[in-house]
Structure 1
Amino acid sequence: MTRPTSRRTVLTAALAAAATGGAVAAAGPATAAASLAAAPTGTASPVDNRFWNTYTDWRCGSGAGTRVVAGRRPGLEISAPAGRGDYTDPHTGRTSSWEYATWTSPVHRSTVPATEVIASWNAHTPAGTWIQVELRGSYSDGTETPWYVMGRWAAGDGDIRRTSVDDQGDGKSSVWTDTFSVDDAASGLRLLSYRLRLTLHRTPGTTRTPTVRRVGAMASDIPDRFTVPATTPGLARELLVPRYSQNVHVGEYPEYDNGGEAWCSPTSSQMIIEYWGRRPTAEDLAWVRPGIADPQICHAARYTFDYQYEGCGNWPFNAAYAATYKDMGAVVTRLGSLTDLEKLIGAGIPVITSQSFIKEELTGAGYGTSGHLMTVIGFTADGDVIANDPASPSNEAVRRVYRRREWENIWLRTKRYDATGRVRGGTGGVCYVYFPATATAAQSRVLKGLGIL
């Protein structure tokens, strides 16, 4: 079996070094300020979530050339351009002129003085449009960060190449692909508050517009931990989620992070998108070479690909891709325990989790990885984790059962040892949660309780 790989490895290593032993990157947007309460086991992460997605939210921000669209899913669009400017795409070298409008959120004071922040968004960007998301925050020493670009994004790749932006920093913090991180967490410096700024772009002289349905950020300060306390099993349920192997696609479309060998994130995303009854159309898939099995996996890889990161593992880009499907919402968040994950499974919501481990740490995996995504679809009667693991030789082999204690530790820890004994970072409970805008009342209660809605 091909060992799963990801350029998320580079980000994890950089964050671990920058934090001088602190936690690595995590992501976690939600629609309202919410600090996740610690579970009785003490495994919960200190996370603050704030998301803007209601009509009132959009009205509370400061817009220049934008309008708020009412309805079942309120959003933000271009009304009259606030200006016009050129953008030179660093990945094509092409310079184009764009009209733009901006919206800036109110200042959000985090309930958690933070070492890390990740922005995330759900948007519709028809051809000839794209968006930029920026963050600016205030430190505990009374100074402010610059405006950091957290992503330049379009659903397609014909107008611009979606991209993160490297080499951003002010001597106190840096942006590593999709994650704002305080450079020296041990110094005590923290980010106390932040604003987000959206810039909506369109082709000059047209009436086209992006529509942003949700934008927000997670702020967290995760303690160092090589192990986490064990939880008590509380649920036995398995969801019927489609099974797809990334390794079926090894060698296909190597321009997207060397092909299927590294496609754990988009493969996992596609499984859950289809669980919710959505999938690309035949027209969407017309670009895929005939004869390729499960062409929608190639499609997901192409449209989650970050041209700067050179991979498909940008967390917000995966959530944004999932939300391009009709009436889908998507967040990248951090959970505090398997108990939290059980709540989502109990409500019928599968979860994509991020973890890293050596081969001996996860019985039955048969591989080790410095960064891998898989889909949790349930729990056995004994509390073990049932996962659709895309790092499998075939679709039929994707369903796995992993020992609860091993799995919760590799997912929730922030520090680990690699195969050579060197200290590396862990993701500390990072996951993607995708859900329909028409979630049931029971699903909405669970999502709200976990700070996701």
Structure 2
Amino acid sequence: MTAPEGTSRRTVLTAACAAVTATTAAADPHPAPRAVAPARPVAHHSWTSCADWAQGTARGTRVVDAVHPHLAIDAPTGRTERTDPRTGRSTTWEHAVWTGPEQALAVPASEVIPSWNAHTPPGTWLRVELRGTYADGSRTPWYLMGDWAAGDGDVTRTSKNGQRDGRTAVHTDTLAVTDPGTRLVACRARLTLYRTPGSRPGPLVRRLGLTVSDLPDRFTVPPAPPALPGVHRELRLPRYAQTVHAGRFPEYDNGGEAWCSPAASQMVLEYWGRRPTARDLAWVDPAYDDPQICHAARATYDHAYGGCGNWSFNAAYAASYPDMTAVVARLTSLGELEGLIAAGVPVITSLSFRAEELTGAGYGTPGHLMVVVGFTADGEVIAHDPSSPSNAEVRRVYRRREWENAWLRTRRYGSTGKELTGSGGVAYLFVPADDEERRRALAAVGIR
């Protein structure tokens, strides 16, 4: 669970839209009707194959044709000195750069969320940057979306605060439009791979994905009727409560009280049989139960954000396990989520609500992650909710309509009546890379 109600990832856009709406209403008592949003205002673009990587411009990188094709350092093109934002230590790194093609977006976007799957051995890390193109042909600056490594011994994993150009801004893991009259029509990605000078190998990048969207501002969403009887199922996942870890390792966002995202990620990873090794967990106090949750929190912590809830970093953490594919996605209906559950894919979902808006939760939140593991015969949502008093109480059944609205809406009212924002269907999707059935389930929601 996140901090108390305040500025969220979509707050700036929401405020700008509200201001323009008020101005327009005052100037014109009969404003033109709003354009109807496309049937599915979400798309996902990805680079995973040799042909995909070959579309980009390589400066010192090469494409490796393997079972899982990937981008790697061929011959470094230069050296860079980086001062670590946490330790203040300056280190020299050699690097190579891959710049993707100018990708026309299937949906003119108000938001772009990147995710990547990479292997970063000790002494290596990578940088992910995005540059958007506006409809008038002008471009954003290159925005830093993350300096990332699976471990934290060489570099501090971090996003970057304060990036904006007057029309767009970076909100931790999301490139967001802040001017309501603006949309991005194309986007370009840049990956810089770093390693200790003279060492081998460097980072390996197997997947780069961009989830783009232009969701309508809405306080309620149309209900999706339950799937046909017999389709519903409940997946068997481990149950981990973040609250069990309250006070542990407060340097990672005040300890377990804020660890909903890593706890959810760990539940799904263990469903797929992926767990940290004894060596990974050696730093955790052996008196602590479920030490893998402490490990997941440390492995997803974002220095600039000051928390473990960076969506892109959680997907990257999941993909640091062998042969896992992980993406940050946006789903547009409960029907899409039901299709994934029917295929055996648990879904980590981001939602926000007041206490009275989700019966049985017992709390309110401006942003929280929980895992949907199934549906009852009546279509109610079965979730593993980390914000529970104990592991035994993690399994919850939530009313379908309440849960659906809390997850999919983009606008809501906080406890003081202030207009706030919602995640608009954000989800983490983790599946084994070689599982064809589950990959087809992802393809059904637009992710290849």
Which TM-score band (shorter chain)?
over 0.9
Pick aligned residue for 2:366 from 357, 367, 370: 370
Cα distance in structure 2, aligned partners of 1:157 and 1:44: 42
- Structure 1 residues 309 and 148: CA distance shift in structure 2, 3 A: same
2:68 aligned with 1:79: no
2:265 is paired with a residue whose SS is: helix
Cα distance in structure 2, aligned partners of 1:91 and 1:59: 36
2:120 aligned with 1:125: yes
Within a 5 Å distance, the mapping from 1:334-345 to structure 2 comes to 334-345=330-341
Pick aligned residue for 1:263 from 259, 263, 282: 259
Pick aligned residue for 1:99 from 94, 102, 106: 94
Q: Quote the offset at 1:440 in angstroms.
A: 3.2
Unaligned runs of 5+ in 2: 20-36
2:201 aligned with 1:208: yes
Q: Which is bigger in relative contact order (C-alpha 8 A, separation at least 6)?
A: 1
Which residue pairs with 1:301 in the alignment?
Answer: 297
CA contact under 8 A between 2:284 and 2:294: conserved in structure 1?
yes
Within a 5 Å distance, the mapping from 1:234-245 to structure 2 comes to 234=227, 235-245=231-241
CA contact under 8 A between 1:43 and 1:228: conserved in structure 2?
no
Greater displacement, 215-224 / 237-246:
215-224
RMSD: 1.6
Tell me which amino acid in the other structure corresponds to 2:410. T
Pick aligned residue for 2:9 from 8, 12, 29: 12
Tell me which amino acid in the other structure corresponds to 2:376. T
Tell me which amino acid in the other structure corresponds to 1:108. Q
2:215 aligned with 1:222: yes
- Structure 1 residues 405 and 353: CA distance shift in structure 2, 3 A: same
Cα distance in structure 1, aligned partners of 2:425 and 2:250: 30
Q: Quote the offset at 1:8 in angstroms.
A: 9.3
Cα distance in structure 2, aligned partners of 1:251 and 1:277: 28
Q: Quote the offset at 1:12 in angstroms.
A: 3.2
Cα distance in structure 2, aligned partners of 1:223 and 1:250: 37
| 4+ aligned runs moved over 6 Å, structure 1 | none
Cα distance in structure 1, aligned partners of 2:433 and 2:212: 24
Pick aligned residue for 1:164 from 159, 165, 169: 159
Count of residue correspondences: 428
Which residue pairs with 1:356 in the alignment?
Answer: 352
Cα distance in structure 1, aligned partners of 2:280 and 2:352: 33
1:411 is paired with a residue whose SS is: helix
Greater displacement, 240-249 / 4-13:
4-13
Cα distance in structure 1, aligned partners of 2:108 and 2:81: 37
Greater displacement, 232-241 / 303-312:
232-241
1:131 is paired with a residue whose SS is: strand
Tell me which amino acid in the other structure corresponds to 1:136. R
Q: Quote the offset at 1:18 in angstroms.
A: 5.3
TM-score between the two structures when normalised by the length of structure 1: 0.92
CA contact under 8 A between 1:99 and 1:202: conserved in structure 2?
yes
- Structure 1 residues 353 and 43: CA distance shift in structure 2, 3 A: farther
Q: Quote the offset at 1:56 in angstroms.
A: 1.0
Which residue pairs with 2:148 in the alignment?
Answer: 153
1:264-293, Cα deviation, whole Å (9 max, x unpaired): 000000000000001001011000011101
Which residue pairs with 1:39 in the alignment?
Answer: none
Greater displacement, 304-313 / 432-441:
432-441
1:180-221, Cα deviation, whole Å (9 max, x unpaired): 111112x2x111101100000000121230000001212211
TM-score between the two structures when normalised by the length of structure 2: 0.93
Pick aligned residue for 1:437 from 429, 433, 440: 433
Cα distance in structure 2, aligned partners of 1:329 and 1:392: 28
1:121 is paired with a residue whose SS is: strand
Cα distance in structure 2, aligned partners of 1:402 and 1:139: 41
Which residue pairs with 2:283 in the alignment?
Answer: 287
